Structure formats: structure tokens, C-alpha cells
Amino acid sequence: MNKAYKMLALRALIDGNALFDGMDIAENARLAFEGVRDDLLLFREMREDEDRQAFGAAFIRKWREMPLAVWARGESTRQPWFELKGDRFVAQFVVLPEDRAVFENMTEEMVELRLSEARDRRLRKQEPDAAVAPILLTVSHSQHRPILRFMRERRPDTPTGETWVNVDGERFLFPFQAIAVNKVWAADGTRENVLPTLMRRWFGPAAGHPGTRHRVTLGRVGDEWVLHRQPEVTPSSPPAEQPMLRPQLLFFPDVRVACGALETSAGQGEFAERVNVVASVPLDAAKHFVVRASGDSMNGGSHPIADGDLVLCEWTRGASPEALEGRAHLLVGSDAPDTSFAVMKVPHRTSSGWTLESWNPAFPPQPIPESVGKLEAVARVVQVVTEDLGLVLWGEYSRDAIVDAFGGKNDPSWKVGHRDIEVAGKPHTILMVTLRKDGQTRLEHRYADGLVSPTEMNWDSQDSTTSTSAKGRRIIGHVQERRTVHMFARYDSHQDFRYLGPVTYVTHEGDAPMQVRWRLHVALPDALFKLWS
């Protein structure tokens, strides 16, 4: 059974009390269609076929061809159990009246089993889907105007190009670029950028400014993209402290690194902050720091640097001219007392001296101005980076990625699904839960884990955990201990875990194992709750 259609046709017969007497084809099709409206996986399977996306004449014609005609031909069955008689779908088998109730109950049980298997197969094939787990976007800024940044490598389902998005009940046109949305247009056709207005309406005048942690989520509701403020932790919940996943680097927010003309300003580099960033190279706080680019002269080539990008740099000391030539560097200089400038360029030596080149071909090479007494290369440009905001809510993580996120070493101790560790001197507990245990799972590991509601979850500890053991005391007293408990869950062992965020202990029953009730700080999306419950 590649699709669930044949089982849906049987379920429609049972729901219509017509398993033995047959029913009109159109009615069977209608009941089957209505029966999957609230079944996310099977409804999605139905809508993969263009003729089945809406109920109507085309749907009925297609339903007659598949699955009803397939049943009538006896394909993949020992014999034809049904037949098509005109516009009716009827049984070819006979059941005595006194046996019909038992027969129907047994048939319904088998149909539900096969539909459950079909859901499992599709669930294992699911890629990250914005209808189930919304996409996280961070509110950043370019020249102090809010923009939206995202990590397409984490969520390849992020839209590309101009896309209509619903924001507070209004439609806006979002031009999605490689890593950001820099502007948004209203539906009236004007090309005025309304993104700053939308973000400031949600987050205030400092929306996206350095030091803020403003985020939004992009999800799908039916065929529509919808933007929301990221769900916030309720005031009654303890603060959700994210572990420091990587070393914090110096960030100089007041340094304007010109990716254009040499621009002077007073007092650059007087203030420094610390920031966590995501990079593809190992980070070293002693060697690396971060600045923000200004201008578009380096926005070209194979590794473009756009206006407003965070740029990872590595200090250089005593670099030779040969080491500088042809590679992007951060150069600083001064052309008057108490003024300085910083510029990101590619030094290139010519017969008449040094020139500064750009990656954007629209910007010609420029000589070093005579007024500049000395231009010093202080750092090598490494790559554009994004700020690391910690674990992504509802993001997918392998066990290796979870271990890496908390700075651990993947050894057998991480296979138990319950780890108590310290990160940056603060206590954390990591719970990794598989909701559907397969037949290969050892009996002592088939815990009664499951969702009670979008905000509550049952979890069984290991058999050795009691309320008076070290692990048990940490569970019950994690709020007083200021221990953050992180919940990762997956449907079955064929999938990666999803991060459900921090959770708070509610109550428990029993010992060895403990049956614990947890409250999620942020409610599961309805679609994800339906898939897993």
C-alpha cells in the first residue's frame, strides 16, 4: 500500500454504515475527503495530487479510478473483494447477519492499523515543514533600520524571492534573499519599505538594534505564509537561560567599518560588547572578534559581505606585505588628530603603490589618500557570521548536535536520554524523549512518554530514578536550584529530535521510575501536537 486511499475508501464504507450493502461512489469520495480534513499527514498526501486538492467532480472521477477501480480489479489482493456497479461501489463477499457486527469491528480495527502505518511512513519522510515547526527569523538592522535574518541551511523550506506574507491580518510582499529580508512592501503597489514600521510596531523604536533579542516566526497556515512575534515565556515561568554554545567574542558596535569610501569618525572602538556567533571555523576568543559592515562595496564575488553583515575577523600582527596582498583585511588609519577610520578592502600592490580593491565590481580600485599618514592592516577578514541566539525552538537536532550544543563529548552517557551537566557554571538538564517506541526497544526503556496537551507532557524517568536520588531531586527542585531543563522529543527513532524549549516540573507519581508531568514554556504548534498525539 503506497497510499492510504484504499483504506480511506473502506473507512468511508464503515462510517456510512454501508460495508455490506455498498454506497454511491460520490458519497464514498465525500466521506473519505471529509475524514482526512483533520488528519494532517493523510490530508497532505491527498493534496499532493492536483485533482484531489478540493472536493468536486474532478475528485470523484479520480476517486473512482483510484482506489475504487483498483479494489474492483483485485490488485494487490488475493481476489476482487469489491466491484463497481454503475455509480455504486459494492462488496462481492457475503457475511451472515449474525456475524456482521463482529466482522465490521474487525475490519475497522485492521483499517485503523493500516492507516496508522501509513501515517508512520509519511511522518518519517517529513522534512522540516513550516506548517508544523515555524521558521525562526531574527530582527537585526542595517544602518539602524530593522531587517529580518534567517539561516537557510537550517531551514531549506524558507521562501525564496518575492512572497506574500500575512502580518496582523494584512498581506505584504516579502522579497526573500539569500540570508535576509531587507525590505517589505504593502499590497497597494507602492515601493515604500514598511518593514521598519511593522517591526517597531511589535518591538518598539529599538527593534533589531544591537543588544536586542527580537525574533519572529514564519509559518504556513494552509497555503498562506503568516508572520508572528515569537512566542514568549509566560511571566510565571522561570527565565529560559540558553547555554553558551560557543566562545563569546569581542564585538565593537560603535566601529563603522566602511565597505565603500574611507569615512572618518571620532572615538571608534571605545566600547566593546560580547557576542556569540555561528561560524564554519573553530572560534578562539583570543584571536577572533566581530565588527559590522557598512556599505556594499564588498557585496560581490563568491563570499559577499552586505551592508549590515556581522563579519568575523582574526587579529594579524606583523603581517608581511605578501601576506596582505589579494586577501580581504580590516585596515585602520587616521588623517587628522582625534579622528580615525576603519575600512574592509583587499590590498593590492601596483607599480605606483598600493590600491584598495573591492569585491563588488561596481566599485573601482581606489588609491590610498595622501592625507592618510599610515594605513595598518589589523585583522584578516574570515567570513560573514550570524549571531548565535542559542537553541532554535522546534528546530531539529541529531543526538550529536545536541551534545555539541551543550559543549559535551558524545560518549555512552548521552544515550540514556537524561543528562545533568554544567554549562558556563550554570546547571542544565537535557531530556531526550522518543514518543513512539519500536519493537526493538528493550522493555525497561519503553517509558510512558507522551503529550497531554500542547503545553503539558508526561515523562517517565529511568527505572533507577527515585524522588530521593540525585537525579530525582534535581528534577523536583530544578526551579529552586536555578537549573534549566531542556526537552528534546522525536516521534520515533528514525527521526532527529525537535527542541521543545525549557520545561518546568509540575508534579510526579511513583518511584523507580518516576512518572513526571512537565509544563512547556511555549505551547507546541497545533499541527505538531496533532502529529505526535
Claim to verify: residue 286 and residue 379 sit in the same structural domain: yes
Mean pLDDT of 456-461: 92
Residues 6+ apart with CB under 8 A from 417: 431, 432, 433, 434, 462
Q: What per-residue confidence (pLDDT) applies to 314?
A: 92
Q: What per-residue confidence (pLDDT) applies to 237?
A: 37
Q: What per-residue confidence (pLDDT) applies to 341?
A: 66
pLDDT band at 246 (very low <50, low <70, confident <90, very high): low
Between the CA atoms of 361, 281, 135 and 190, what dihedral angle is there, to the nearest 10 degrees?
Answer: -20
467 in Cβ contact with 473 (< 8 Å): yes
Closest CA to 499 of 508, 489, 511: 489
Claim to verify: residue 193 and residue 73 sit in the same structural domain: no
User: Interhelix angle for 40-47 vs 100-125, to 10°?
Assistant: 80
Distance CA 408, CA 177 (A): 35
Distance CA 270, CA 255 (A): 8
Q: What per-residue confidence (pLDDT) applies to 195?
A: 95
User: Interhelix angle for 100-125 vs 5-15, to 10°?
Assistant: 140
Beta bridge partners of 278: 386
Q: What per-residue confidence (pLDDT) applies to 446?
A: 47
Q: What per-residue confidence (pLDDT) applies to 127?
A: 65
Averaged pLDDT of the chain: 83
Query: Domain of 101?
Result: 5-125
User: Each residue of 130-173: pLDDT tens digit?
Assistant: 777 788 898 988 776 899 999 887 788 899 999 999 999 999 99
* Higher-pLDDT residue of 440, 236: 440
Beta bridge partners of 379: 315, 330
pLDDT band at 121 (very low <50, low <70, confident <90, very high): confident
Answer whether residue 328 is part of any domain.
yes
320 in Cβ contact with 239 (< 8 Å): no
Claim to verify: residue 85 and residue 198 sit in the same structural domain: no
Sign of CA dihedral 333, 335, 338, 343: negative
> 223 by DSSP, 3-state: which?
coil
- Choose the weakest-confidence range: 94-108, 234-248, 388-402: 234-248
Claim to verify: residue 20 and residue 72 sit in the same structural domain: yes
Q: What per-residue confidence (pLDDT) applies to 374?
A: 65
pLDDT above 70 (res 268): no
Claim to verify: residue 161 and residue 278 sit in the same structural domain: no
Domain with residue 365: its CATH number is 2.10.109.10
Dmax over Cα atoms in the chain, in whole Å? 105
Claim to verify: residue 410 and residue 485 sit in the same structural domain: yes
Mean pLDDT of 14-27: 95
Sign of CA dihedral 136, 140, 145, 147: negative
Claim to verify: residue 279 and residue 380 sit in the same structural domain: yes
Q: What per-residue confidence (pLDDT) applies to 448?
A: 66
Residue 400 CA from chain centroid, whole number: 17
Kind plus residue range of the DSSP H or E element containing 416: none
- Choose the weakest-confidence range: 153-162, 201-210, 264-273, 473-482: 264-273
pLDDT above 60 (res 255): yes
DSSP 340: B
Claim to verify: residue 350 and residue 413 sit in the same structural domain: no
DSSP 147: E
- Residue entry with cell 592625507: 371
pLDDT band at 126 (very low <50, low <70, confident <90, very high): low
> 476 by DSSP, 3-state: which?
helix
Q: How far is CA 467 from CA 274, 413, 475, 498, in A?
A: 40, 21, 8, 27
- Choose the weakest-confidence range: 403-417, 454-468, 504-518: 403-417
Sign of CA dihedral 436, 440, 443, 444: negative
290 in Cβ contact with 387 (< 8 Å): no
pLDDT above 80 (res 23): yes
Mean pLDDT of 436-445: 55
pLDDT above 90 (res 516): yes
Mean pLDDT of 110-131: 80
Answer whether residue 96 is part of any domain.
yes
Claim to verify: residue 516 and residue 406 sit in the same structural domain: yes
Answer whether residue 74 is part of any domain.
yes
User: Each residue of 385-401: pLDDT tens digit?
Assistant: 887 767 777 878 888 88
Distance CA 25, CA 84 (A): 9
Answer whether residue 237 is part of any domain.
no
Q: Which alpha helices (DSSP H) does 377-461 contain, by range?
A: 399-405
DSSP 74: T
